[in-house]
Chains A and B, each alone.
Chain A
């Protein structure tokens, strides 16, 4: 009985992928369809013979693109496997060869031949001029590549990798390939771009001149002039990292270690900035503290001096980024502060440490991972931040904006952009590395599973006074800033003409009805719908990739797991700006030509936000006892069924977190987006930046306010959709905490 089941089980999946490969080669357009594949206009526009839309087989029949012909070989060879049983060594061997050879051929021809024929001089030297060219691959090629990949993974599974578990091997293979294509490949491409001279040759001296540019590393600020962008960025990021971490800790202490009554309110208040488009805070701050801002003018009048632009530059950036990134630090810190086992703190007290000594010697050191993570996040976010420097930077140049201007500015200089991006990447990766070293290999896990009764002590007195003061000031400041934002969206021209008006909302979101139905005439609708569409597409993909990766990392053991983990977490340390530049460099040319499409936006969101999905998944999966999976497996489910039926349902909180985070991020992100938007796919954030640059603050703020409310609604909706899994777990505190 059992044997029969196993023998059958190989066929559906295997046959599915073989058929997929054939369809990819024979039926689906091989190259990218210019006007969008899913409009299906190509079906009635000369398909299957028109070479723009032809499947590979039809191209070959017409004597075109003959370099695709060898792909037929592995395709046909894959049929041979059907003659073997799974237990036969030949089964696995054939699949491995078919998959590996097919996939490499596909890659090789894609990179070898581009829009100008052969991409490499040595190919021309061997084969002569090609006299033909090809554009970016399309869905036909994608399907065939996927088919080869999964045939390969089934092959190595059949040969015994990961206990022959097809699902796990395929998942590992899939994650490795997509991460290589969308994380490593672009970064590598950017590295190379830093060495390319203007006439397209490679040269190390180009790199060194651009790298050792005074505009990057100059130390003029020590002698009264200006410093290089690298120092500016680094300095800013370090301060922001420290300040946000400290504030995050302060809020976490108030919420978990004090009798403070309005904890819920405080949580909401600190989370608010996360769903706020980044530069909105900058704008509100300008309206308060800028040259004609309310506060500046007030103090100027009071002191009888001219209002100045004191706010633009380092002070403004510091305040805005601290406002924007403190909530992230708070979210990290609260988990860690709550996670410190109360009995450790009680033990310290019975060992004669007073509250302050307990806090200093036990609680605080145990929060080190949280402090390090919070600092790292603040540091990276500050480095990558694009919106705030753009509106508040003044003469204080930072890397992210300089990268942008190197690409879109008057002096278009890809090489310089790449070099700047590398400097940026170097900083963030160093911070990442420094964090690891600082944490060392000490164990900070204090939740043992077996509990004592115990309660967290309250904050020591000498801590609570400053903590409450800081929290109160900051809370009040945040409230004021947000009131400003809402207020600003309803007045004619902030600071100049404060009469109330709906003009901005009407301009942006006007809707009219006529005989053709609803007309979205407002100027913001285009980018609004695009944003919703992209965010809605990216969120589930992020959750899927993130959770599958988390599952592999927590539940499976395989060779190279550490490298795998590093690879999947790497994109976390890569600032959005760097992603933006590297994506342009990598995906502007065949074989993967997706700049200007919605796909590139979706892909960039998925891989930028994936680490969060992974972390959320790991966090909740490591709380699920492994015996759950094991019992499911012994009851006859395979690993895919176990994942779907047992793990996923218990992971609802993690799924929700991943969905919400990636959705919100997709709606508020700007740093990568600004490079990747096109006329057709314009995102809300880049549209708003455009309005800001035209000094159209009212519209910008009105649009941002709308986005905030849309995100609130979306988060609520997601919560309902995903539902809550009730796990029978007791909590120490009653509701209302």
Chain B
């Protein structure tokens, strides 16, 4: 067998003012701009029905944008049907052809791409090898486990060396253990081959784990784009803060702002943090559960309402004058008593100011 290398021909994807309507009433995607850098893995994340799949299908050419422009590489593909785009997709249900063997499935796209018979075969085998399914080529899809079917679907898309590779919730039909494994495999292949991947999921943990960039979507619109770290550490609003990891949203007052540093107070407790363009007055503060320090030197008063031991850490529900919040602590050997009063402060970095509302 000639040495066949599956490589990437990664290209960037650009959405300009793209809108997708179904009929007169349903706006599935509302005037979005999006840039996916070549060779990066970008996830579309958001609650069900927010337009992720529709966005993905517009990249694939399975849906046509109602308005706006879509570019892949430097080519305008807005009006191009799926067949003529250099994009492959891994479907949620895998969509393996049940009447074809694994090898035939993987060779399928190659036969339409002008490869010779033997090269088609070599490439398909190389693709199977890449996903760790050597020797499964003659089986029917119905004779494979869910995880194996998934990998065939990936191989089938990979061997075409597409400019962009799309995944629509590829892990949702797998059990929890496989999920972690498969997503790491996908990430590894993507990085090895330098592929451009757009990946849809509604699971924030999955998104944080695999992405170079995350696009958080809400109601047919983009709420925020950023690296996992950016989204986690500085969400633009309450929706993003809540959707990416858990966050306590606390009321506070910005007393003064100097050099984009805000001096805030919350029940008399003072704290300094980036102002992010906000001005004096009431505001909201997003604090991750791990960034609440129980028993700090300075802080506000709260009472422990609930304590749960979950093995690696303690989880507390705290009651303060302005409401309740959720905190975790790594100290498990000397848990705090329910009903005891504590002082709660913030970690040095972590709390984020959010605009009111």
Question: A residues engaging B (CB < 8 A)?
Answer: 341, 343-344, 346-355, 357-358, 361-362, 365-366, 368, 442-446, 448, 450-454
A452 proximity list for chain B (CB < 8 A) = 53, 91-93, 95, 168
* Residues of B contacting A453 in the complex (Cβ-Cβ under 8 angstroms): 53-54, 57
Residue from A346, A352, A445 within 8 A of B112 (CB atoms): A352
Q: When chains A and B are docked, how far (Å) is the Cα of A365 from the Cα of B109?
A: 17
- For A349, give its contact among B81, B97, B98, B142 (CB under 8 Å): B81
22 contacts between A and B (CB under 8 A): A341-B95, A346-B60, A346-B89, A346-B91, A347-B89, A347-B91, A349-B62, A350-B82, A350-B157, A351-B156, A352-B83, A353-B108, A354-B83, A355-B83, A358-B83, A366-B98, A366-B99, A443-B98, A443-B99, A451-B93, A452-B91, A452-B95
Q: Is the CB of A353 within 8 A of B83?
A: yes
Binary A-proximity of B82-102 (CB < 8 A = 1, otherwise 0):
111101110111010111000
Chain A, Cβ-Cβ closest to B54: A453
CA separation between A355 and B159, bound complex, in Å? 21
Nearest to B101 among chain A residues (CB) is A442
A352/B95 contact (C-beta < 8 A), A346-B62, A361-B108 known: no
Known interface pairs A350-B60, A353-B83, A452-B168. Does A443 touch B142 (Cβ–Cβ under 8 Å)?
A: yes
Report whether A448 and B93 are in contact in the complex, using a CB–CB cutoff of 8 Å.
Answer: yes
* Docked CA distance A346–B81 (Å): 11
The contact of B95 among A344, A354, A361, A365, by CB within 8 Å, is: A344
Interface residues of B (CB under 8 A from A): 53-54, 57, 60-62, 81-85, 87-89, 91-93, 95, 97-99, 108-109, 112-113, 140-142, 156-157, 160, 166, 168, 173
Cα–Cα, bound, A366→B53 (Å): 26
- Closest residue of B by beta carbon distance from A348: B108
Query: Within the assembled complex, what's the spacing in Å between the Cα atoms of A451 and B166?
Result: 17
B102 to chain A, nearest CB (A): 13
For the complex, what is the distance from the CA of A202 to the CA of B54, rounded to whole Å? 75
Supposing A365-B99, A443-B142 touch, asked if A353 and B109 sit within 8 A by C-beta, the answer is yes
Residues in chain B near residue A446, CB distance under 8 A: 98
Separation of A444 and B142 alpha carbons in the complex (Å): 10
Which residues of the other chain, A, contact B141 by a CB distance below 8 angstroms? 443
Determine the distance from Cα of A501 to Cα of B62 in the docked complex, in whole angstroms: 60
Q: In the bound complex, do residue B98 and residue A351 qualify as a contact, i.e. CB atoms below 8 Å apart?
A: no
Between A351, A352, A448, A450, the greatest number of chain B beta carbons within 10 A of the residue's beta carbon is seen for A351
B104: nearest residue on chain A (CB-CB)?
A: A361
For B85, the closest partner residue in chain A by CB is A350
Docked pose: A365 CA to B101 CA in angstroms: 13
Give the docked Cα–Cα distance between A283 and B321 (Å). Answer: 92
Contact, CB under 8 Å: B112 / A353 = yes
Is B98 in contact with A445, judged by CB distance below 8 angstroms? yes
Additional A-B contact list (8), CB under 8 Å, known A344-B97, A446-B98? A341-B93, A343-B91, A349-B61, A350-B89, A365-B99, A443-B99, A450-B93, A451-B93
Question: How many angstroms from the CA of A204 to the CA of B166 in the assembled complex?
Answer: 70
Q: Are B91 and A442 in contact (CB under 8 A)?
A: no
Q: Which 5 A-B pairs rank lowest in CB-CB distance, beginning with the nearest? A: A351-B109, A347-B95, A349-B82, A343-B95, A352-B112
Bound: A452/B140 CA distance, A: 22
On chain B, the residues within 8 Å of A451 by CB distance are: 93
B contact residues around A347 at 8 Å (CB): 89, 91, 95, 97
State whether A350 touches B112 (Cβ < 8 A). Answer: no
Q: Are A351 and B140 in contact (CB under 8 A)?
A: no
Q: Given that A352-B112, A357-B112 are known contacts, is A346 also in contact with B99, CB under 8 Å in the complex?
A: no
The reply to whether A350 and B53 form a contact with Cβ atoms under 8 Å apart is: no
Most A Cβ at <10 Å: residue of B61, B93, B168: B93
Chain A residue at minimal CB-CB distance from B28 = A453
Please give the distance in Å from A384's CB to the nearest CB on chain B: 31
In the complex, chain B residues whose CB is within 8 Å of the CB of A366 = 97-99
Minimum CB distance partner of B173 in chain A = A450
In the complex formed, the residue of B with least CB distance to A352 is B112
Interface centre among A355, A366, A368, A442 (most CB of B within 10 A): A442
A360 to B: closest C-beta gap in Å: 11
The chain B residue sitting closest to A366, CB to CB, is B99
**B112 CB contacts on chain A under 8 angstroms:** 351-354, 357
Please, how many angstroms separate the alpha-carbon atoms of A348 and B107 in the complex?
Answer: 11
- Bound: A358/B84 CA distance, A: 13
Across the interface, name the chain B residue whose C-beta is closest to A445: B98
The contact of B88 among A350, A443, A444, A450, by CB within 8 Å, is A350
CB distance from A103 to the nearest CB of B (A): 43
Give the docked Cα–Cα distance between A351 and B89 (Å). Answer: 8
| A349/B83 in contact, CB under 8 A | yes
A362: which B residues are within 8 A, CB to CB?
A: 97
Set of chain B residues within 8 Å of A361, measured between Cβ atoms: 108
Q: Which residues of B contact A442 (CB under 8 A)?
A: 98-99, 140
For B143, the closest partner residue in chain A by CB is A443
Residues of B within 8 A of A368 (CB): 99
A residues within 8 A CB of B168? 452
What are the residues of chain A within 8 A of B84 when measuring CB–CB?
Answer: 354
Bound-complex Cα distance A341 to B89 (A): 16
Q: Which residue of A lies closest to B89 (CB)?
A: A350
Query: In this complex, what residue of B is CB-closest to A353?
Result: B112
Given contacts A450-B173, A453-B53, contact A350 B87 (CB under 8 A): yes
Please, how many angstroms separate the alpha-carbon atoms of A365 and B97 in the complex? 10
Query: Could you tell me the distance in whole angstroms from the C-beta of B42 to the nearest C-beta in chain A?
Result: 18
Bound Cα distance from A442 to B97, whole angstroms: 11
| Complex Cα spacing A349 to B156, Å | 13
Residues in B whose Cβ lies below 8 Å from that of A444: 98-99
Q: What is the CA–CA distance of A353 and B81 in the complex, to the nearest angstrom?
A: 11
Nearest CB of chain B from residue A337's CB, rounded to whole Å: 15
CB-CB < 8 A to B54: which residues of A?
Answer: 453
Chain B residue at smallest Cβ distance from A355: B83
Residues of chain A with a CB closer than 8 A to B160's CB: 351-352
Knowing A352-B160, A442-B140, say if A450 contacts B92 (CB, 8 Å). yes
Find out whether the CB atom of B99 lies under 8 angstroms from the CB atom of A343.
no
Q: Which residue of B lies closest to A454 (CB)?
A: B62
- Measured CA separation A347–B98 after assembly (Å): 12
Q: Which residues of chain A come closer than 8 Å to B140, judged between CB atoms? A: 442-443
The answer to whether A352 touches B109 (Cβ under 8 A) is: yes
Residues of chain B within 8 A (CB-CB) of A450 are 92-93, 173
Q: How far is the CA of A567 from the CA of B85 in the complex (A)?
A: 52
Instruction: Name the one of B53, B88, B99 contacting A351, with C-beta atoms under 8 angstroms.
Output: B88
CB-CB nearest in chain A for B106: A351
Q: How far is the CB of A6 from chain B (nearest CB, A)?
A: 40
Task: Please indicate the chain B residues that have their CB under 8 angstroms from the CB of A343 in the complex.
Answer: 91-93, 95
B-chain residues with CB within 8 Å of residue A352 when the two chains form the complex: 83, 109, 112-113, 160
Contacts of B87 in A (CB 8 A): 350
Bound-state Cα–Cα, A446 to B93, Å? 10
B215 to chain A, nearest CB (A): 19
Q: Separation in Å of the B169 CB from the closest CB of chain A?
A: 9
Distance, CA A232 to CA B53, complexed state (A): 57
CA distance A451 to B169 in the complex (A): 12
Cα A442 to Cα B156 with chains together (Å): 20
| Complex: A365 Cα to B142 Cα, angstroms | 16
- Closest A residue by C-beta to B108: A351
For the complex formed, measure the closest distance between the CB of B88 and the CB atoms of chain A, giving whole angstroms.
Answer: 5
Select from chain B the residue with minimum beta-carbon distance to A453: B53
| Residues of A with C-beta under 8 A to B142 | 443
Which residues of chain A come closer than 8 Å to B85, judged between CB atoms? 350
In the complex the two chains form, what is the Cα distance from A343 to B85 in whole Å?
17
Distance A658 CA – B197 CA, assembled complex (angstroms): 51
User: Within the assembled complex, what's the spacing in Å between the Cα atoms of A478 and B88?
Assistant: 45
A445, B173: Cα distance in complex, Å = 18
B198 to chain A minimum Cβ distance, whole angstroms, is 13
Please give the distance in Å from B161's CB to the nearest CB on chain A: 11
CB distance from A529 to the nearest CB of B (A): 51
By a CB distance below 8 angstroms, the chain B residues around A353 are 83, 108-109, 112
Nearest opposing residue in chain B for A446, CB measure: B98
A494 and B140 alpha carbons, distance in the complex (Å) = 61
Which residues of chain B come closer than 8 Å to A351, judged between CB atoms? Answer: 88, 108-109, 112, 156-157, 160
With contacts A352-B113, A442-B140, A453-B57 known, is A346 near B95, CB below 8 A?
Answer: yes
